[in-house]
Structure 1
Amino acid sequence: MPFPVPDPFVWDTSFQVFYFKLDDQHRAIFETLFNSTNDNTPGNLQLFYIVTANHFEEEEGWMVSASYGGYDAHKKLHEEFLAKVRSFSAPVSKENLFYAKDWLVQHIKTIDFKYKQLL
């Protein structure tokens, strides 16, 4: 069963992966998506994309350094999500905003949680 999407869309400790830098980056992703929801402008959408892409790049680097076995599949999910977000234009539809929120919640709590204690 999927995890609920918080409303308002804010990061909380239930999303902790216990790597401070990655948790801080997850917080920033939540914040930029929250801002995109409340001020649905091209600048906020672009910032959300940049913050998310930078996080994915760093997280993937950690995975490579740790020889994480799920790296290839994890990277593919990141690439697919970024491609979808790149297709958005501001103002972003409510459906696409929900898609992004839901994807992030499910991804962190099911996919990212797999690397807890492994990186």
Structure 2
Amino acid sequence: MPTFHPIAWTPDLEVGVPEVDDEHALLVTLYNDVVRATRQGVSRPTRDGIVRSLQAYAVFHMDREEAWMISHAYPDTARHRARHAEFRAAVEALYADAPDDAEHARMAALASFLRAWILDHIRGEDRALFDWIHDGCPNPLACAAE
């Protein structure tokens, strides 16, 4: 039986923008709720609600990040947005209806994907974005507004 591992919020997940760090921390909490619900064997409708909450919040967060990219003229916006689109599609595909006998395997695949994606994306693409904003900030009007 696969093990569902929660994520501990650690300083290496911070990107140095408090509101973004708060949003990332909430994503981690929502992922941990998925893990907890799966481990506890809550009903499928309850678990579906938890997964859909994570999915909706992730989309909200990604939209906000993409606004940051645009307002700061981030040169890697297209690739970063493509990664967000891949996330949306993958979560939808992994969480598509599955027969009851495949439920545990479906949740294991989803949890594994979410864990890896959240950690890799925050430490990789998001860190690069916010490092670039902190270091470069070529858009003086956007920088002055912060």
Is this contact kept in 2: 1:11–1:26, CA < 8 A?
no
Q: Deviations over 1:42-98 (max 9, x none)?
A: 110011001111000000000100000010000000011111112215855212211
Looking at structure 1, the residues matched to 34 and 91 of structure 2 have their Cα atoms a distance apart, in angstroms, of 12
Alignment partner, residue 78 of structure 1: 84
Report which of the two has the higher share of helix.
Answer: 2
Report how far residue 112 of structure 1 moved. Answer: 1.1
Deviant stretches of 4+, over 6 Å: none
Report how far residue 102 of structure 1 moved. Answer: 0.5
Could you state the TM-score of these two structures normalised by the residue count of structure 1? 0.87
2:132 match: secondary structure: coil
Is this contact kept in 2: 1:66–1:118, CA < 8 A?
no
Looking at structure 2, the residues matched to 68 and 45 of structure 1 have their Cα atoms a distance apart, in angstroms, of 31
Is this contact kept in 2: 1:42–1:89, CA < 8 A?
no
Structure 1: segments with no counterpart, 5+ residues: 1-6
Structure 2: segments with no counterpart, 5+ residues: 39-46, 98-102, 134-146
Report matched runs for 1:1-119 at 5 Å: 7-40=5-38, 41-87=47-93, 88-89=95-96, 92-119=106-133
Letter in 2 for 1:29: L
**Identical counterparts, % of pairs:** 21
Report how far residue 118 of structure 1 moved. Answer: 2.9
RMSD after superposition: 1.6
Letter in 2 for 1:35: D
Looking at structure 1, the residues matched to 70 and 26 of structure 2 have their Cα atoms a distance apart, in angstroms, of 23
Report how far residue 116 of structure 1 moved. Answer: 2.6
How many residue pairs align between the two structures?
Answer: 113
Alignment partner, residue 4 of structure 1: none
